[in-house]
Amino acid sequence: MSVAAERASAMQPEDLSRYFVERANAGDVEGLVALYEPGAVLATGLGQVATCHRAIRRFYEELLADGPTFTAGDQRPALRNGDLALTSTCIPNGATAEVAHRQPDGTWLWLIDQPNVLA
């Protein structure tokens, strides 16, 4: 079985944050990219955004190059409206905010990701 086939899919929008921490700590760039829709946007800091899997992959390759460790924050319950959900996590010195989108198979992927709304 391939690594991609072994990765769990987010059955709830709140799963995405947990999978992010697990995959980032494992250095699994492709696993991180798999948490996003193909046309997703990710704020990368200093007013810059990564749009699409290629740019998101490049961002995470650079971010994980030095082997940082991520810790789970205080995941807030998702605010849902149909196939969209606002997810957020309180982290040291800030909070995340993401828009998740339910896929046709019932799983969830991020469409918009702001890793720190206070930065």
User: What are the extents of the domains in the chain?
Assistant: 25-114
**What SS3 class is residue 11?**
coil
The size of the chain, in residues, is 119
- Write down the pTM of the prediction: 0.91
Query: Is 25-114 a CATH 3.10.450.50 domain?
Result: yes
Instruction: Give the tens place of pLDDT for each residue, 21-72.
Output: 999 999 999 999 999 999 999 999 878 999 999 999 999 999 999 999 999 9
Task: Label residue 24 left, alpha or beta by phi (over 0 means left) and psi (-120 to 50 means alpha).
Answer: alpha
Confidence of residue 73 (pLDDT cuts 50, 70, 90): very high
Q: Yes or no: say if 10 and 35 are a contact pair by the CB < 8 Å rule.
A: yes
pLDDT given at position 93: 85
Instruction: Fill in the DSSP letter of residue 78.
Output: P
Specify whether the CB–CB gap between 113 and 106 falls below 8 A: no
